[in-house]
Structure 1
Amino acid sequence: MSTSLKSNSRWTIVFIAIFFISPLKAIGAKEPLIRVLIGQENKARFRADGSKSIFVKGISSKQRPIKSINIIYSNGSANYSLNNNLNSWFELPKNFNLIIKNNHERGIWYKNRRYAGELRVSLNDNKLQIINYLKLEKYLKSVVGSEMPKEFPIAALQAQAIAARTYALKLLGKNQFFDIHSTQASQVYLGLEAETAKINRAVKSTSSLALFYKNELIEAVFHSSSGGRTENSGQVWKYQLPYLRSVVDYDQNSIKYRWTKEISSSELDQIFSGLGGLNSIQIIKKSNTDRVLKVRLYGPKGNENISGRTLRKKLKLLSNKFDLNLKFNQINQDDKMMKINYIYGKNKFNLDKKLDSDFAPYPLPVIPIDYFLLVKGYGAGHGVGMSQWGARAMAERGASFHKILKHYYTGVQIKTF
């Protein structure tokens, strides 16, 4: 073969390589990195998986392959040890920024979980701040598996993937140090352990799709179960968004559709110690979907009005869609129940008391020491946006992810970002 023919062949191969490989690289380059806060503590340990190594940049002039690194921050100083040698510690610079990564699909171990991408460790507010840097689609494969059971139908998982992608995109670059929390403060992210083949398929099949309203990314909030009807965003947060409106939910098969919780008088005294305990409680406002918006607390040291969201947090309730009852607690006696019915502008108890609708509701009767406060509630979460159990029910009835998302997010478009 002549030199010219070899040269032509070589350029043909190069051209083919560029033609077929460059578009893939270009697509990959468009995929954003996301910064996930996965830890904020005084000590941390990172290790490789099995016989593999991790690489640490920032503890010497060169990137070092090691098996593990322990870091402790105490008394204004950060120190590290390598490869489980806890007898030998070295001090880190004041403004250290460690980058921990590996080249293996098994990821990096931190707190009994494995993480893809790279982990960056720095000092912020006298804590070791651990941030996971990884590509968005890889992050979503964990989020979908962390937020929704893998057994759910594929259309529900696809809807979750698009909602989670939109939620994450909306937060990119908003914070100086990280984009998103790994907890329910944002959306749950549990690392590589949450991935499955089915979930990965749901994410891949919806790649680059997000939710928009008038060409702007939406606040794609979601929750577990609404208890029959989702809530308007304006009843939960400051603003009423046009696409976060109350709609019928199909979550009746949710394991949290109905729930109860009993709270003893002594527990209430501890929870409301600022009031000297709790003598009585009164629901004074509910939303149109029957969620508690405002309550009045009565204690030995005074009275206080708080929001239904605050009460939910204090009592550790699944949602703020609930009613209050008193349950008698005495050995060898049948349970006795005192039912308190909230009817807008009215409250009825002792069965023989009739109130004029113009008067404010009476408080719940004084909670004796031998009674429980019995909370009977519905649903789990804030109730705004997509209901995950409702998405499951719609998918089981044959609905596509398009139909699910357009039901729970009013007037949105589903398109590539």
Structure 2
Amino acid sequence: MILPSLALLGAGSVAHALNVRVLVGSGPQLTVRVPVRPAASGLGGAPLGGASPLPLAAWTVGLSADGARLTLNGQDAGNAALYLPPAPGSVVEIAGKTYRGGVQLRAAAGQVQAINVVDVEDYVRSVVPAEMPTSWPGAALGAQAVIARTYVAAHVNPAAPYDTCATESCQVYPGVGAETPASDAAVAATRAQVVAYGGQPASTYFSADSGGYTASSAEVWGRGLPYLPAQSDPFSAGSPRAHWRLEVGAAKVAEVAARYRVQVGAVQSVVVTRSSPSGRPLEITLSGAAGTARIDGANAGGFIRSLGAAGTRVTLNSAALAAGGPLVVEGSGAGHGVGLSQYGALGLARQGYSHLYVLGFYYPGTSLSTLTGRAAGGAVLAGAGALPQPGTALALRPDGAL
């Protein structure tokens, strides 16, 4: 079936409120296996469904000689896009991975793009186990499900060819193979829930471990958001990266410094000369035989991460550098530290807090809303209830709902 637009993607009831479009593959050629009825002769055919899974037919999708159109098994398809819409229970296989829903194929910039079109709940079913251990308590998994759903809701853009990607650049989305009963249960228990601020999906950043103090979005990326502050995080404990030590040789320090356009000759000293409220460096001063230079702002944290550090809440000891010894980096936590700390979610869950309290703590001032669909401007939300803080009573809307 060849469609000129994505107009069908917004259709559906609350039970299937939102289909999202995920770029899952790109290359000069892709192998796609799609369900077809025995009588179907192309990539599409009759609507899919029924109690029994349909057989999958394999197609090698490439590009025409001029790169303007797709080819199927070497034959010119006559169009730059092909679309098999999702149907209840349908799956597709793209580049060896199985995904729920349908697929859109596009010729774009000399590549074949494969875009999985999937119900948002099925999308979250794959993301949660890829981002958090499914042996963790349901409250932690539930919080991860809500922020995963919120992330993709915030990125819904009908004007773009796809909404999100399947890698760490967006959210890890491996497909059906990642799903587990525990994460499925967490997704079902939080169905359609999103974190909202000002009536829009919030920016639900997260990292593995805050190291005992979350970072503000302003100090990490230079863009402050009121619900992403630097704050003490007593719940993040027990992480393998709670306390760590790294030794970095002088040659490595010089090589990383050069990436940040710092040339001071043989590096003799590396000192944090200004820190953020969360204890992360905002300015690092490097001294050497050829002078002194500074790395500041978000680049200061980038420099620390480029040295191989797990996180940026660190102290530096460069006493041995001048004598040819290493720079000693000691730190706590892993990741950028903004928003939810996954080990903090684990700590809160183990103390008996629900996923709502986890969200309320890490995104203060936000509310819980319901994702109801998509429109020309993006995702559509309904309702709002204040998220609770640990140690407070659960906040409800006047009608008694969350």
Instruction: Give the TM-score of the pair, scaled to structure 2.
Output: 0.73
The code of the aligned residue for 1:252 comes to: A
- Name the CA distance, whole Å, in 1 between partners of 2:308 and 2:108: 30
Counterpart CA distance in 2 for 1:380 and 1:401 is 22
Amino acid of the structure 2 residue aligned with 1:39: G
Distance 1:37 1:81 in 2: 19
Deviation at 1:377? 2.5
- CA offsets, 1:225-257, max 9 Å, x none? 110111122212233222112233222111222
> What displacement does 1:187 show?
1.9
Query: Per the alignment, do residues 104 and 207 of structure 1 end up closer, same or farther by CA in structure 2, a change over 3 Å counting?
Result: closer
Q: Which residue of 2 aligns with 1:279?
A: 266
Q: Does 1:289 align with 2:289?
A: no
Structure 1 residue 70 and structure 2 residue 60: aligned?
Answer: yes
- How many Å apart are 1:325 and its aligned residue? 3.5
1:71-98 deviations in whole A, cap 9, x for unaligned?
Answer: 345975477564xxxxxx33454x5213
The answer for the alignment partner of 1:374 in structure 2 is 328
1:67 alignment partner, SS class? strand
- In 1, are the aligned partners of 2:275 and 2:281 still within 8 Å (CA)? yes
Q: Does 1:407 align with 2:361?
A: yes
- CA-CA distance at 1:383 after TM superposition: 0.8
Aligned to 1:43: 29
Aligned-residue CA RMSD (Å): 3.5
8 Å contact 1:265–1:367 — kept in the other structure?
Answer: no
1:258 and 2:243 matched: yes
Matches within 5 A, 1:10-49: 26-28=13-15, 31-47=17-33
Unaligned runs of 5+ in 1: 1-24, 83-88, 327-337, 340-364
Q: Check if 1:322 corresponds to 2:314.
A: yes
Q: In 1, are the aligned partners of 2:128 and 2:148 still within 8 Å (CA)? A: yes
Write the mapping of 1:9-408 to structure 2, written as runs, cut at 5 A: 26-28=13-15, 31-47=17-33, 57=43, 67-72=57-62, 76-77=66-67, 80=71, 82=73, 89-91=74-76, 93=78, 96-99=80-83, 107-173=91-157, 176-249=160-233, 250-268=235-253, 270-271=255-256, 272=258, 279-280=266-267, 281-297=270-286, 303=293, 305=295, 307-326=299-318, 338=319, 365-366=321-322, 368=324, 371-408=325-362
Q: Which runs of 5+ in 2 are unaligned?
A: 1-11, 49-54, 371-380, 382-402
1:310/1:72 CA distance change after superposition, 3 Å? farther
| Mean CA deviation greater in 372-381 or 264-273 | 264-273
State how far apart, in whole Å, the 2-side matches of 1:240 and 1:399 are. Answer: 28
> Partner residue of 2:390?
none
Given that residues 56 and 100 in structure 1 are in contact (C-alpha distance below 8 angstroms), is that contact kept between their aligned partners in structure 2? no
1:270, 1:277 within 8 Å by CA — same for their partners in 2? no
Task: Say if 2:204 and 2:339, in contact at 8 Å, map to a contact too.
Answer: yes
Change (3 A) 1:387 1:367: farther
Note closer, same or farther for the CA distance 1:220–1:148 as it changes in structure 2 (3 Å cut): same
Q: Distance in 2 between matches of 1:226 and 1:287?
A: 14
Post-superposition shift, 1:399? 0.6
Per the normalisation by structure 1, the TM-score is 0.71
The CA distance in 1 between the partners of 2:240 and 2:40, in whole Å, is 41
Q: Which has the larger radius of gyration?
A: 1
Contact 1:291/1:320, CA 8 A, preserved across alignment: yes
AA aligned opposite 2:356: H
**Structure 1 residues 353-397: Cα deviation after superposition (integer angstroms, max 9, x where no partner):** xxxxxxxxxxxx4473xx333332221221111111100111011
1:54·1:101 contact (CA, 8 Å) conserved in 2? no
SS at the partner of 1:199? helix
* Equivalent position SS for 2:224: coil
1:260, CA displacement in angstroms?
A: 3.3
Check whether the contact 1:386–1:408 (CA below 8 A) recurs between aligned residues: yes
Amino acid of the structure 1 residue aligned with 2:241: K
